[in-house]
């Protein structure tokens, strides 16, 4: 499928899509939107893979929510079994917003490091969750010499994103919630334009708080990014599409 937009991060295997998943995916197809769908819990890994097999505008990523760090060995088995079906590893990373215990944070870091090394070994991009832990996640990625990094819905300081995108070549995706987030609006201006992606993170981070998000909302992110950068939508669409295909080579 030739696409004009790439939703670089969402969760089509989420239970919230069980009743109308097909119509949502078909609506995205009608809008020429391709989707990278991530399964991040044991009960969604194989479900996500199965869904992505059925639609030519879906691409599978498998990872591990930091809250599920105890399931690393199970994840590694799935990743090795299905590596040829994957467009990326992730999301994975750190979550210091939910977890305050120091020992568990250390375990999150250990799991994160192992998955970075696996992504390097597989020569796949890695999608990063770094809620309230942006600086720490970036430090680990740099120390581990991560090769193809996608920082998803980054909530850290914009100066960190400026350094990571300009000096280290990391990619950052702007979610549809940018329309209501001053932090994300500031982030758009900081990211190297050649490292800028967009995402929905469906079913969350909707443009309208409290509503279910879907990949068909992706143009909202494109419109807001274009407005912030004072660029035409057609120009930004081409730039973001090229960026997405540069990182995710299987999209080509």
Q: What is the mean pLDDT of residues 134-138?
A: 98
| Residue 2's pLDDT band (cuts 50, 70, 90) | low
Compute, in degrees rounded to 10, the torsion defined by CA atoms 171, 209, 46, 71. 80
pLDDT score, position 98:
86
Kindly report, residue by residue over 223-232, the tens digit of the pLDDT. 999 999 999 9
High-pLDDT (> 90) share of the chain, %: 97
Domain-wise residue ranges, the chain? 5-251
Q: Is the pLDDT of residue 1 over 60?
A: no
Q: Is the pLDDT of residue 43 over 80?
A: yes
pLDDT score, position 252:
67
Q: Is the pLDDT of residue 241 over 90?
A: yes
Class of domain 5-251: alpha beta
Q: What is the mean pLDDT of residues 94-115?
A: 95
Q: Is the pLDDT of residue 197 over 90?
A: yes
Name the token pair of 89.
Answer: 């590893």
pLDDT score, position 3:
77
Model-level pTM?
0.97
């Amino acid at each position: 499928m030739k696409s004009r937009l790439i939703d670089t991060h969402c969760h089509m295997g989420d239970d919230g899509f069980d009743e109308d998943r097909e119509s949502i995916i078909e609506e995205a197809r009608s809008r020429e939107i391709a989707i990278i769908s991530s399964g991040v819990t044991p009960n969604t890994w194989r479900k996500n893979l199965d869904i992505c097999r059925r639609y030519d505008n879906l691409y599978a990523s498998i990872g591990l929510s930091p809250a599920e760090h105890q399931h690393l060995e199970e994840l590694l088995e799935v990743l090795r079994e299905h590596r040829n079906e994957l467009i990326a590893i992730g999301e994975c990373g750190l979550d210091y917003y939910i977890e305050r215990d120091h020992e568990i944070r250390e375990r999150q870091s250990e799991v994160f490091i192992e998955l970075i090394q696996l992504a390097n070994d597989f020569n796949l991009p890695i999608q990063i969750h770094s809620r309230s832990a942006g600086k720490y996640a970036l430090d680990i990625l740099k120390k581990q010499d991560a090769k193809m990094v996608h920082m998803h819905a980054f909530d850290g300081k914009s100066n960190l994103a400026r350094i990571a995108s300009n000096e280290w070549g990391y990619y950052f995706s702007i979610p549809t919630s940018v329309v209501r987030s001053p932090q994300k609006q500031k982030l758009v201006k900081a990211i190297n334009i050649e490292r800028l992606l967009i995402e929905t993170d469906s079913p969350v981070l909707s443009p309208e708080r409290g509503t279910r998000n879907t990949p068909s909302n992706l143009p909202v992110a494109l419109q807001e990014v274009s407005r912030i950068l004072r660029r035409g939508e057609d120009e930004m669409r081409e730039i973001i599409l090229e960026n997405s295909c540069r990182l995710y080579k299987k999209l080509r």
